[in-house]
Amino acid sequence: MNDKTPMHTSEELVIYNKSGKLILFALLFVLAGVAMMYSGMSEEESSMIITIIGAVTILFFGLCLIYLIARAVNRKPALIINEEGITDHSSYVEGGLIRWHEIEDVTLYEMMNQRMIGIKLLNPDAFLSQQKGFKKLLMRANKGMVSAEVNISGSAISENLDKVYLIILKRWKTAKPMKPDSSS
């Protein structure tokens, strides 16, 4: 049995990351950055702008490449969907454990040709206050671009996004009435 195949039981669905194509694309961009730097430095007039763009491309996509390789080697699931909620480790800006009663809405949307599941939280400020460092900064920036606090990209997971969306939606709707008791 392949360690990266989704595991589905009546209690829990475990989905792993899909990294192969992303690693290839990141590597191609790093190589394109190297070519730009080489081209910018070897021209007689030494085009500084091309050299700088090449360096930024290498830096950004090099960091992406390192992250993607580490994620491919790591056997941690991208998503775990169970009776408690959704545990999201599908990207660097992962949501962690999101309990069903913390969710306000679940939507399927597309942004820049990227299909995603958006999870809007009842208390987004409390969620953001639990995040730290650069991840918190990225989440705040993300908040200005999309309406959901947690976003799961279809390109990051090994399972069909529509299928995962329907599973999340069904689990959330059946778990919704089971909010924590606030009388104690």
Instruction: Kindly report, residue by residue over 43-61, the tens digit of the pLDDT.
Output: 666 688 888 999 999 999 9
Q: Collapsing DSSP states into helix, strand and coil, what is residue 130? A: coil
Q: Collapsing DSSP states into helix, strand and coil, what is residue 182? A: coil
Kindly indicate the confidence band of residue 16, based on its pLDDT and cuts at 50, 70 and 90.
confident
pLDDT score of 8 more than 70: no
Q: Which amino acid is at 141?
A: A
Q: Collapsing DSSP states into helix, strand and coil, what is residue 154? A: helix
Q: What DSSP character marks residue 46?
A: -
Put simply, whether the predicted model's pTM sits higher than 0.75 gets the answer: no
Q: Which of 111-125, 133-147, 170-184 is the least confident region?
A: 170-184
Q: Which amino acid is at 113?
A: N
Distance CA 177, CA 125 (A): 23
Q: What is the pLDDT of residues 120-157, one digit of tens each?
A: 989 888 888 777 777 777 777 777 677 788 888 888 88
Burial of 20 (0-12, 13-18, 19+ CB in 10 A): exposed
Contact (Cβ atoms closer than 8 angstroms) between residue 148 and residue 119: yes
Which two three-digit tokens encode residue 135? 């991840």
Q: Collapsing DSSP states into helix, strand and coil, what is residue 9? A: coil
H or E stretch at 84? none
Q: What DSSP character marks residue 20?
A: H
Q: Which residues pair with 78 in a beta bridge?
A: none
Phi, psi of 153 (to 5 degrees): -80, 140
